[in-house]
Homo-oligomer: A and B are copies of this chain.
Amino acid sequence: MTVDGGVSRPARPAARPVGRVDPDRIPQATVARLAVYLRVLTEMLAQGVRTVSSDVLAAAAGVNAAKLRKDLSHIGSSGVRGVGYDVSRLTEQVESVLGLTRSHAVALVGVGNLGHALAGYGGFAQRGFGVAALFDVDPALVGTTIGGVEVLDVAEIPRVCASKGVTIGVIATPAGAAQQVCDALVGAGVPSILNFAPAVLSVPTGVEVRKVDLAVEMQILAFHVSRHDGRAAADGREATGKVFG
């Protein structure tokens, strides 16, 4: 799962910067789902779908329709009653809310097994997430090139991240190095970090950390395997059915 980062909420309204929609009011859970909706919307747009109802969009995104409508209400969406949402317009709105109208320079630290794969993975290239820099401690890796980007020494993190205006740092180092790397990124002004290392990071208030932890995911599944076995006898193992109500 994902651990929540340490983003500060403003203690008081303190002169709210009221624009069209106040992002501070958008629930965390909604933000996470907006990204999923966006993927579905993009597919629909590619297929020439002009309009979509909350029922259809929700089914495609794997959520319930009421939740989707509430999510969209948070971003000030305007669907048309009796018709649905304009796919193109909604796509733009979601992109705008997620901050995808600008590009984001990504720095990836640790190009070992996993990091190397991530550097080449399509996920980064999409949607304006450009790999601006790669770093590693290993002298054998420093100087090599992955996907056209040269691997630099971690000592360069402060200088390079600051000068390239890196906004997202990805940590794919062993656990032992993670906090140190994190500190370097934060020191260079990187406001958001995606951490693949199995370590708890501490960061100053205002820096957002998200964690992707393979071992944790596996263990959660292991828990459910135990559950499944226990229940198998009672359930009688039905093959294919509804996913949810």
* Chain A residues in the interface with B (C-beta under 8 A): 1-3, 5-8, 10-11, 14-15, 17, 23-24, 31-36, 38-40, 60-62, 97-100, 102, 104, 106, 113-114, 116-118, 120-121, 123-124, 126-127, 129, 167-168, 186-187, 189, 191-194, 198, 200-206, 208, 210, 212-231, 234-235, 237-245
Contact of A192 among B124, B187, B228 (CB under 8 A): B228
Residues in B with CB closer than 8 Å to A3 are 32-33, 36, 62
Q: Bound state CA distance, A224 and B168, in angstroms?
A: 10
Q: Tell me the bound Cα distance from A213 to B36 in angstroms.
A: 9
Interchain residue pairs A-B with the least CB separation, the first 4: A99-B226, A117-B117, A1-B2, A123-B214
Query: What B residues does A242 contact at CB under 8 A?
Result: 204-205
Q: Is the CB of B212 within 8 A of A212?
A: yes
Q: A218, B11: Cβ atoms under 8 Å? A: no
Chain B: minimal CB distance from A204 (Å): 5
Task: Report the bound CA distance from A8 to B120 in whole Å.
Answer: 36
Q: Which residues of B contact A117 (CB under 8 A)?
A: 113-114, 116-118
Bound form: Cα–Cα A24–B120 in Å: 41
Further 15 A-B residue pairs, CB within 8 A, beyond A113-B120, A204-B242: A23-B226, A35-B216, A39-B198, A61-B200, A97-B223, A98-B226, A99-B225, A104-B221, A113-B117, A129-B222, A191-B228, A192-B222, A192-B228, A210-B217, A212-B217
CB proximity of A119 to chain B, nearest CB, Å: 9
A219 to B205, CA, bound (A): 20
Distance in angstroms between the alpha carbons of A98 and B224 in the assembled complex: 8
Residues of B within 8 A of A33 (CB): 3
